[in-house]
Structure formats: structure tokens, C-alpha cells
Amino acid sequence: MKATIIFLLLAQVSWAGPFQQRGLFDFMLEDEASGIGPEERAPELPELEPLGPVCPFRCQCHLRVVQCSDLELGTNPLKSSGIENGAFQGMKKLSYIRVADTNITSIPQGLPPSLTELHLDGNKISRVDAASLKGLNNLAKLGLSFNSISTVDNGSLANTPHLRELHLDNNKLTKVPGGLAEHKYIQVVYLHNNNISAVGTNDFCPPGYNTKKASYSGVSLFSNPVQYWEIQPSTFRCVYVRSAIQLGNYK
């Protein structure tokens, strides 16, 4: 019996792990950790709210341009009646609007004066009236390509005094829009693929050579019925370089 007890005691000693020497610092750490209760732990920091406006879902935002699934508003079944007069007036810093490839038949009314670019390509607009561009003093680029425009009312371009680019290609114009010669800043005019049959010597440039007007850097008139050899050389006297003029035969 006594031998059995001694055997069991020796077995317990042999199963015990080896002794490891520990320093005073280890015991201090254990005491400090064991002495911290749940109420004494550092509180969790709250999640911070994002600063500034958040870009709408599935949109791309860059500076003052918000592009939401194309467009902007392009490729939607919009009609002119679907855009209320002054629908954009509350956006006082809006600089860019694109309503392309829709069913609108006229330029939306009451656009914000802060606009610098307006793109209305690929619609069913048949006429540019002066009232539709009234107040767009900061507009620099106007895109009206691929519409059915046959008329640009006199005074339309005067309502956009800082316009620099005008795209009216692929329409139904029969003559060069009035007001280009008097406009001080316009430099690029696209009029190709229309029904223009004649070009006058004062359609693009003012009569006097000393008139303050920016020189054209791009004028396209190809694919019109006008015969380019019938256009007088002085017609483009205010064009920066001759290579900026694109002429060609009617298809």
C-alpha cells in the first residue's frame, strides 16, 4: 500500500511542466492586467461622419459636374414638356448640362446663368430662338449637333456674349447663322453636314479688318451643297490659319 502511494506521487511530479524563471516585471504586468475592470477599459471611438456632400449612388462626381448613369440627363425618354421652365434655376453654381439623345424639340427655358457648357446633341430641336439663350452670359460651349435645326433666329448669339464654340453640324441649316461676324469671342464653328448652299463674304468676319474680334481656330463647312471654289478668299480673313478651314464637296 505504501509503495503504491509513493509511486503515484512520483508520477505526478514527473508529469508536471519544467519550472521557468520569471522576473518581477512579468508579475507586475499580470497584476496590472488583472486589476482592470470592464468599466475602466478605454471607450471605443464613435464612427466619424463623412465630411462634405456625398456623391450620389452610381454617379461620378468631379468638381462641379455630377454624372449619373450617362448623361447627366441623356438617353432618357424626355420631352420638352418634361423639363419645366426654370427646373435648373435653383442650382446657382451649375456649370455643365447635357441632355442628349432624347425627344426634346426645343432648348429648355430658364437655364441658370452660371452655365459654361450646354450640350443638347442628338435631339429633335428644329429651331434656335433668341429667348431660349437669354441670360446665358457665361456660356462658352454650345452643342446642338445631330438635331433638325433649320433656323437660328437673329439675336440668338448676342445672348451668349462669351461663347467660344458652336456646334451646329448635322442639322438642316440652309445658310450660315447670323451674328457670327459681330461676335467677339467665338473661335470654333461646326456647320458641316447641313444644307448650306451659299456663303457670303461677311458671314463670318466683320467688314473692317481692324475690328476687335478673336480669330477663328476652326471652321467646318464640308458636306454642304455650297461649292467651295465659289467662296471668296476674303470670307475667311479673320481665320487664324488657312488649315483651320475645312471645306469639301457635297456628298
**pLDDT tens, position by position, 22-42:** 444 444 444 444 444 555 555
- In this structure, is the dihedral angle defined by the CA atoms of residues 83, 85, 90 and 93, taken in order, positive or negative? positive
Q: Which of 140, 143, 109 is nearest to 123 (CA)?
A: 143
Cβ atoms of residues 153 and 174 within 8 Å = no
21: cell is 524563471
Counting every residue written for the chain, the total comes to: 251
Give 168 or 67, the one with higher predicted confidence: 168
Cβ atoms of residues 129 and 156 within 8 Å = yes
| pLDDT over 80 at 178, yes or no | yes
Q: Compute the average pLDDT of residues 78-106.
A: 74
Q: Which residues pair with 118 in a beta bridge?
A: 97, 142
Percent of the chain at pLDDT > 70 equals 64
C-alpha–C-alpha distance, residues 97 and 107, integer Å: 12
Q: How far lies 236's CA from each of 4, 31, 59, 214, 242, in Å? A: 122, 93, 44, 13, 8
| pLDDT over 60 at 179, yes or no | yes
* pTM score: 0.69
Cβ-based neighbour number of residue 153 at 10 Å = 16
Pick left, alpha or beta for residue 14 (phi over 0 → left; psi -120 to 50 → alpha; otherwise beta): alpha
C-alpha–C-alpha distance, residues 188 and 240, integer Å: 11
Among 21-30, 123-132, 227-236, the minimum mean pLDDT is found in 21-30
Compute the mean pLDDT over every residue in the chain, rounded to the nearest whole number.
Answer: 78
Can you give the pLDDT at residue 25?
43
Bridge pairing between strands 59-62 and 165-167: unpaired
- In this structure, is the dihedral angle defined by the CA atoms of residues 179, 180, 183 and 188, taken in order, positive or negative? positive
